[in-house]
Structure 1
Amino acid sequence: MKAKLILVILLLATYSYAQESLTYQKPSKEILELADVDLAPGVQIDSKGAHMVFIYRNQYKSIAELSETELRLAGLRINPVTNIGSRTNFYTNLKVKKTGDINAKQVTNLPENSRLSGFTWSPDESMIACLNTTQTGVEVWILNVSEGNATKITDANINANMGESINWFKDNKHLLIKTLPNNRKPLINTITAVPNGPTISVSDGSKAQNRTYQDLLKTPNDEFNFEQLASSDIKKVSITGKIEDFLPTDMYEDISFSPDGNYVMITKIKRPFSYLVTYSRFPSESNVYDLNAKLIQTVNDVPIDEVRPKGFMATRTGKRSMRWRGDKPAVLVWVEALDNGDPEIAIEHRDAVYQLDAPFNDNPKMILKTQQRFAGIQWGNDNIAIATDRWWNTRNTKTYLFNPSDINSKAKVISDRSYQDVYSDPGDFVLSKNEFGIKTLDIQDNKLFLMGAGFSKKGQFPFVDEFTIKTNKKKRLYESKFTDKLEIFISAIDMKKGEILVNIQSQTTYPNYYIRNLKKKSLKAITAFQNPFKSLENVNKRVISYKRDDGLELEGTLYLPLNYEEGKKYPMILWAYPKEFKDKASAAQSTANPNEFVYPYSGSPIYWITRGYVVLDDAAFPIVGEGSNEPNDKFRTQLVGNAKAAIDAVDNLGYIDKNKVAVGGHSYGAFMTANLLSHSNLFAAGIARSGAYNRTLTPFGFQSEERSYWEAPNVYYDMSPFMHADKMKTPLLLIHGVADNNSGTYPLQSERYFNALKGLGATVRLVMLPMESHGYRAKESIMHMLWEQDQWLEKYVKNKETTN
């Protein structure tokens, strides 16, 4: 007994010594001066291109902000003190300017210590309503755009926990808001509460094959807390602050006014709640009211949505995607599955679109059938609308031109392509605001317009096309000719005048906004943001192309060290994210642009060009499965093939020491990293952030794999690095957020993988970042992450011990 006790003490001592008591660290000076900068503001521009609002925020949250009280319920993360999403991005300052002015002016009368969010333009675009979060709650503020001043119109009693909290009436003088109910009961402390009984789940034999969701309800106490936090009153408030009752307490989710503003559709969540899916699949009811809150009609009643047929293209039965038709005063439109939502049923048409006119008590009218699963409609007028559908298994998408007033006229397929084939992408139809203030198809003289990204074999050249409705013929109105810059189309301002809003950038020129006039062939700058990353102004960046062993064309964005010397060999970091394809032609297409601005975001590997590393970023890692073969059937082979091709390509250019190459990635990129280290000897070290490593913990599909574990056990086994932990011989840095909310990437994934690697004697370090979700937000966390990565790379890559 004494010997056993001594052994236990020794084991505990060994475990404790294996942990490091470490405060948050900061990276090297070279990295810090890139990671800790003030960024240019976000920009909001009215549809006429007349006024601009600059919205400023801190680049990072603080760990203190992330440590505020948080409840995780039914897929929501809520601060129960302030009653707004606990991970909300807050903006700290506002400025306004006319597009023709040189300088922006400061908005006056903003709240002290502003934490602004939820910006919503008024129908006439003269004002913006927004939320301000105080220490005790959420207020509504109004910004007068032309005058540049702000006014508070409510107390800090807004419920911003679920759905939109602000909706404008068409009169531009009133809003519908959600407020906290006076009768809300105190929340239950689920940690200290004494249980009333066990939690019991049952199955009636129906298959409920759902993804591995996080933050689900788990107990009756969770149900109680969710209902309290989701419940609100709906009030009518004027821009002067006068408040009137509209609807009593309920669990309101979505609110939307009809285009003419005479009706409002309000959706509320109902019981029973689910422990299997998030709140978006709880029972719900949609009702239409008039402007005096009189119930006109219940237009949808959706039961709990736990059980669906198998497959990514499965959906529920009944009315779904209900919304207002944008080109009509008050017409509701929705979709219903014709195949019972089951993708395995063979049928000519999968979905049907219906519409119902006010006052919503007549029989609905079917206006369209789609061959595949419905994906959306852009409305034009009585005779013209554009619809799209798509099908996951074939990666196909179709675009239909149809007459919504004549069901007997056959919808015309005007585009039929793989949505992964970027070279054939015809672009997006241009929209403009109609008489109701709703964005619909911009139709002029029987013509539509398309704006496209313009990827091609020769490079990226964004374009604007004119589309003649009667003939389906296109005419190119404009194609960007830049070879040293990247032009991105944002939106149309006035197609009659030929005015469009664009963004132009280069490797070292920060993205700025311009108004391009296609008819006058002019370009007018409306912002002049400066590059905050001064140390990267002389960056050596280019896109390189190379081939995999099977002949597949690949590419990556190559950066040379800032101190690069001709003929010298450098360590390299390869950063990537795998993507599945159903055909090699699409997988081989180039989507990298060397003129894209060099932006070292928090998770980027670009920082390390300041530390003497070559970086191959966004390296193409296609996983292809053609015909009846699924991409993941040969996942590992293709993964290693992609990595070898990338390393060989850079090595052939004479830049790197092949013995000093690291690989890294986030999420599925982390999964990739662990697999590469387990099944190849190409790398000196790896960095895997917020990944999943044991696919049996996500048994009903993951990423782009829709087969379950029981259908493809070998695939799940072969792809799981955890199952091959005994093969890991390469140093691996694991980083994970303790509060990861992403489907499938539980923190448990990294913890168990670390334990397996440690038990098998691998060189591995696990860093768990407190309070962080799937993407890291706190400045302290991000700086420490950069420090950890830098230390790891310096030790195991740049200064790797070599044996003769």
Structure 2
Amino acid sequence: MLSYQPTHTQSLLARSLSRTGTASSVRIFCAALLGLGLSLPLNMPFNLPLGAGPVRASETQDITYQAAPAPLDQLLDAPFLPGISLSPDQMRYVLAQQQTLPDLAELAEPELRLAGLRLNPDNTAPSRTWNYVSLSLHQLRPGQADTGQTVAGLPAKPRLANLQWSPDGRWLAFSHSAARSVELWLLDSLSGVARQLPGISLNRAYGSPFSWLPDSQGLIVKQVTRTLPLPPAQRLPSGPVVTESQSQASPGRTYQDLLRNVDDVARFKHYVHSQLFRVGLDGQSSKMGSPGLIISFDPSPNGDYLLVRQLLEPFSYAFPASRFPQRVEVWTSKGLMVKNVAELPLADKIPIHFDAVRQGRRGIDWRADAPATLYWREALDGGDPGRKQALRDRLMLWQAPFNGSPRTLLDVSQRIEEVVWGRADLALVYTGWYQSRQRELWHLQPDTNQPARKLLSFSSEDRYQHPGLALTMRTPQGSSVLQTQGQDLFLAGDGAGPDGERPFLDRWNPFTGVKQRLWQSQAPYYERLVQLLDPNSGLLLTRRESVEAPPNYMLRQLGQEQPTPLTNFPHPTPFLASLRKQIIEYTRADGVKLNGTLYLPPGYQPGSGPLPLVMWAYPREFKNSNAAGQVKGSPYSFVRMSPWTPLVFLTQGYAVLDDPAMPIVGEGLTEPNDSYLKQLVASAEAAVDKVVEMGVADRKRIAIGGHSYGAFMTVNLLAHSDLFAAGIARSGAYNRTLTPFGFQSEQRTLWQAPEVYLQMSPLLHAEKIKEPLLLIHGEADDNSGTYPMQSQNLFAALKGLGAPVRLVMLPYESHSYRSRESLGHMFWEMTQWLNQHLKQTQD
């Protein structure tokens, strides 16, 4: 999910002001609309509302959080639709209600940022996660709905996560993040009562904190130790921080929250350090093995072994914890180490390429359909796609007790992305190569001498031809294996096509290639398969929605027209139930077909005349122009109003063109970004022409907006076109020289393609921006490349050039804003900005 909020930052244009109010203030920076170069005292009161008069240059001040305009204030308190968790035996399910928007105080709780992790030091839990606040238990009875029962015995103020069913479906384990620890709880699905297993303090700092044993009689849990010392809270450094490179390439993307010094190293070790325990259903526990920096632990399907992954020193100040050295071991069920499977060094030399991977054994895991057999992938090209080599990746097997040599199962010319195990004569291997956007599907018979067979080859960009993904089911031991019926397996997919998505279920025989369509979503609904409950009787669990009806879960019998509703969730935002939605199609000047989803506010009638319109987009790269124009989404999907979508503008009388295609195409050897600006402007121009031609928008009252890479797009369109009257850019990056080792889908470095980096950096073309621009950024942004200084530097440039610009820094918020206060203020800022620059604009 998302999170957004304000913190205390410093403008690059003027001296920093300390906030004089409470944490409920938002820092606002305003540059003069008139560009007169006037200079005013920084502490001058600011009493003019937006649009009430000219704002003088360099005004900086703190204001209190503003309330969202009606009816958006209702949206901030609207509940999220519950999630569903189906028991492995398919006898019952749990509906988990997610918390509503947290308040600012929750985001202001203690937080450490270490090696790419953000955690609360008080309870060793992730500091920025969404929790569940209530659970209800329901029986799955074909032919009838079940009102269920509210789970009893939960803590007073639940903050629940990590929901995991026992393999037999009797118990549901979950964590509760209390103030000083993370507790382990069990729900008995027969009684509907939950209870805490006392004396257990889970470690959620890195990875899952527990895992069920295959016999369902207990769990392996990871507990905090707090035995490694912490450095003093404040002390003088013992010396400088020195890093050195020994003439070996070590490229890396722009990471956030890295370790900075020896004190950070000590803190990281203190909070990640943990001890494994075996815990019974009665709460009795026994220690397993030695403590360490344990990040994962997985029992073998037969329960005899445990696969344990630990971090090793030395750490890095340039890479996150996922790149740190690792040791992978097999332990017995008693915690004794029996085999060192891999020692992986610091992954600091992976080339900047999406097909590049770590050297050595990677993706080590248990084969799901065997008692105790490991499998993994190894790069045959050293992980470097730049090497000229026919075969790239290898799939290996190693059977317990791990005395013999590992066995090679498959060599392929692409990267192995996923292996789905089924049985002795059936496993599927998905491979892919990003540079060509090609994927392959292979059929293995792992326990026979039959050679591997390539079943399919398709483009990852071509959604119309995607075959779907193979369905899996849970074994009695809790592993996920292919769901089969005789020689057949089952595929489920989006069913994308020129008329939008129509999800489907197919029966497919990988031995003969025979395929049969069993079911497909039908208008006026958008219905997706959740689970094939019974292949023999044809019983499905689906989730169905329509434009006006929110998603609800259904039991569907193949061959019967109407499903049986399991749930009846009400419309969360009924004030938007009557809005109009339409997928529109149009063509770019170079012939590329485009599309987007047009929304018109409630009450709007055809022929009522043009409206002010907000276009909200996000560019994507393609190697094929035909794939770039394929229709996304469904005309029948529910109009989801959430605080993070541009649909909020519908409540204020604006039309919205959501996700208009902004494809950046580079066919053959051409890189997409070589013509980024030309294609971007052409796509935007085609979208503007379409909505004006339809009569729903006024060419002079169209705003462009986006978040993250969409914000980057927004500022580039303001700099390189005159299509828009105003812009809103949230949490973007605007200077690509600050992300020199690649960004988004760009794999080349700044030194390989300097002209591309410079041309695509809107900060370097700020003098061309004349339209008013609203910049919003979280002060605690954790996304790679989108440091808060990106917005601060752009504001500084535009202010210095006399352009109309406003910068809002949201305290405590990361890349996605979360708190009720921040989102309410964001609504206020955006609607004020648009009202001033679109609604007050006359032809």
TM-score between both structures, scaled by the size of structure 1: 0.96
Amino acid at match of 1:691: G
For structure 2, which runs of at least 5 residues remain unmatched after alignment?
1-13, 17-36, 45-58
The letter for the 1-side match of 2:376 is W
Shift in CA distance, 182/77, structure 1 to aligned 2, threshold 3 Å: closer
SS of 1:643's equivalent in the other structure is helix
Q: Secondary structure at the match of 1:222?
A: helix
Residue 4 (structure 1) aligns with = none
Q: Does 1:401 align with 2:443?
A: yes
1:185 — aligned with what? 229
Paired residues of 1:31 and 1:608 also in contact (CA < 8 A): no
1:776-795 → structure 2 map (5 Å cutoff): 776-795=817-836
Offset at residue 84 of structure 1 (A) = 0.4
| Pair 1:137-2:181 in alignment | yes
In structure 2, distance between residues paired with 1:112 and 1:254: 30
* Amino acid across the alignment from 2:213: F
Aligned residues: 792
Q: Which segment drifts farther, 179-188 or 502-511? A: 179-188
**Percent identity of the aligned residues?**
39
1:621 aligns with 662
For residue 633 of structure 1, give the secondary structure of its aligned residue in structure 2: helix
Equivalence map 1:293-308=2 (5 Å): 293-308=335-350
Shift of 1:243: 2.1
Q: 1:264-279, aligned counterparts within 5 Å?
A: 264-279=306-321
Deviations 1:304-345 (A, max 9, x none): 111123422111211000000011000000111111111011
1:65 Cα deviation from its structure 2 partner: 0.6
Q: Deviations over 1:464-507 (max 9, x none)?
A: 21212322121222222x22110111222121221221110011
Aligned residue in 2 for 1:518: 558
How large is the Cα RMSD of the aligned pairs? 1.8
The correspondence for 1:105, drawn from 141, 149, 166, is 149
Aligned to 1:220: 262
How far the C-alpha of 1:188 sits from its partner, in A, is: 3.7
- What SS does the corresponding residue of 1:224 show, helix, strand or coil? helix
Which shows bigger deviation, 268-277 or 470-479? 470-479
Evaluate the alpha carbon distance shift between residue 435 and residue 122 of structure 1 in structure 2; reply closer, same or farther with a 3 A threshold: closer
Task: String of CA shifts for 1:212-238, please: whole Å, max 9, x gaps.
Answer: 010111111111110111101112222
Which is further off, 196-205 or 10-19? Answer: 10-19
Which structure 2 residues correspond to residues 110-259 of structure 1 after superposition, within 5 A? 110-155=154-199, 157-181=201-225, 183-189=227-233, 192-259=234-301
Q: C-alpha separation between the residues in 2 aligned to 1:76 and 1:629?
A: 37
1:590 aligned partner, one-letter code: V
Contact (CA 8 Å) 2:167, 2:476: kept in 1 or not? no
Map 1:676-755 → 2, pairs under 5 A: 676-755=717-796
**Deviation of residue 520 (structure 1)?**
5.3
The 1-side partners of 2:622 and 2:652 are apart by 35
1:88-108 alpha-carbon deviations (Å, 9 max, x no partner): 212111111112343121111
8 Å CA contact retained: 1:35, 1:600: no
User: Which residue, out of 382, 387, 394, partners 1:345?
Assistant: 387
Higher relative contact order (CA 8 A, sep 6+): 2
8 Å CA contact retained: 1:143, 1:149:
yes
- Correspondences of 1:12-51 after superposition (within 5 Å): 14-17=41-44, 18-51=59-92
- Is 1:284 matched up with 2:326? yes
Whichever residue aligns with residue 391 of structure 1, its letter is: W
Match of 1:455, SS?
coil
Q: Which residue of 2 aligns with 1:263?
A: 305
Paired with 1:184 and 1:497, the residues of 2 have a C-alpha distance of 56
Contact 1:188 1:225 in 2 (8 A): no
2:628 corresponds to? 587
Aligned partners of 1:368, 1:674: CA distance in 2, in Å? 47
Cα separation, 2, equivalents of 1:341 and 1:592:
35
* 1:263-282 Cα distance to aligned partner (Å, 9 max, x none): 11111111000111111111
8 and 532 in structure 1: CA distance in 2 versus 1, 3 angstrom threshold: closer
Post-superposition offset of 1:16: 4.4
Do 1:368 and 1:404's aligned partners in 2 also have CA atoms closer than 8 Å? Answer: no
* Paired residues for 1:758-773 under 5 Å: 758-773=799-814
- Of the three residues 77, 80, 95, the one matched with 2:136 is 95
Show the counterpart of 2:540.
500
Write the deviation string for residues 566-598 of structure 1: whole angstroms up to 9, x where unpaired: 332210000111000001011011112111111
The 1-side partners of 2:842 and 2:769 are apart by 18
Which position in structure 1 is the counterpart of 2:355? 313
Residue type of the partner of 2:735? N
Say which of 614, 623, 632 aligns to 1:573: 614
Match of 2:584 in 1: 544
**Structure 1 SS opposite 2:585:** strand
Query: Which of these residues, 528, 542, 548, is aligned with residue 488 of structure 1?
Result: 528
Q: How far apart in 2 are the matches of 1:671 and 1:561?
A: 27
Specify which of 482, 495, 507 is matched with residue 466 of structure 1. Answer: 507
Give the Cα separation in 2 of the matches to 1:48 and 1:171. Answer: 14
Correspondence 1:583-662 to 2 at 5 A: 583-662=624-703
Q: Equivalent residue for 1:3?
A: none
Shift of 1:146: 2.7
* 1:44-101 Cα deviation digits (max 9, x unpaired): 1124432111111222121101101100000100100111000121211111111234
1:15 is displaced (CA, Å) by 4.2
Q: Secondary structure of the residue that 1:789 maps to in structure 2?
A: helix
Deviation for aligned residue 1:539: 1.1
Pairing partner for 1:416 from 441, 451, 457: 457
How many Å apart are 1:692 and its aligned residue?
A: 0.4
Q: Secondary structure at the match of 1:171?
A: coil
Change (3 A) 1:178 1:434: closer
Q: Is the contact between residue 285 and residue 302 of structure 1 (CA under 8 Å) also seen in structure 2?
A: yes
CA distance in 2, matches of 1:235, 1:459: 50
* 1:792 shift after superposition: 0.5
- Give the partner amino acid of 1:656: A
Alpha-carbon distance between aligned partners in 1 of 2:315 and 2:15, rounded to the nearest angstrom: 45
Contact 1:136 1:156 (C-alpha < 8 Å) held by counterparts = no
Shift of 1:777: 1.0
For residues 194 and 801 of structure 1, what CA distance do their matches in structure 2 show?
61
List structure 1 segments (4+ residues) > 4 angstroms apart after TM superposition: 7-13, 519-522
Aligned counterparts, 1:309-388, within 5 A? 309-388=351-430
2: CA distance, partners of 1:170 / 1:405: 23
Query: Taking structure 1 as reference, are residues 496 and 733 closer, same or farther at Cα in structure 2, changes over 3 Å only?
Result: same
Match 1:530 to one of 560, 564, 570:
570
Structure 1 counterpart of 2:598, from 558, 561, 565: 558
Give the Cα–Cα distance (whole angstroms) in 2 for the partners of residues 542 and 469 of structure 1.
39
Asked whether the 8 Å contact 1:48–1:494 carries over to 2, the reply is no
SS in structure 1 of the partner of residue 370 of structure 2: coil
Partner amino acid, structure 1, of 2:66: Q
Partner of 1:85: 126
Which amino acid letter does the alignment assign opposite residue 483 of structure 1? A
**1:774 maps to which of 815, 819, 823:** 815
The answer (yes or no) to whether the contact 1:263–1:288 under 8 Å persists in 2 is yes
Equivalents in 1 of 2:351, 2:656: separation in Å? 44
Q: Once the 2 structures are TM-superposed, how far is the Cα of residue 41 of structure 1 from its aligned partner?
A: 1.7
The answer (yes or no) to whether the contact 2:739–2:785 under 8 Å persists in 1 is yes
How far apart, in 2, do the equivalents of 1:15 and 1:360 lie? 71
* Cα distance in 1 for residues equivalent to 2:668 and 2:147: 57
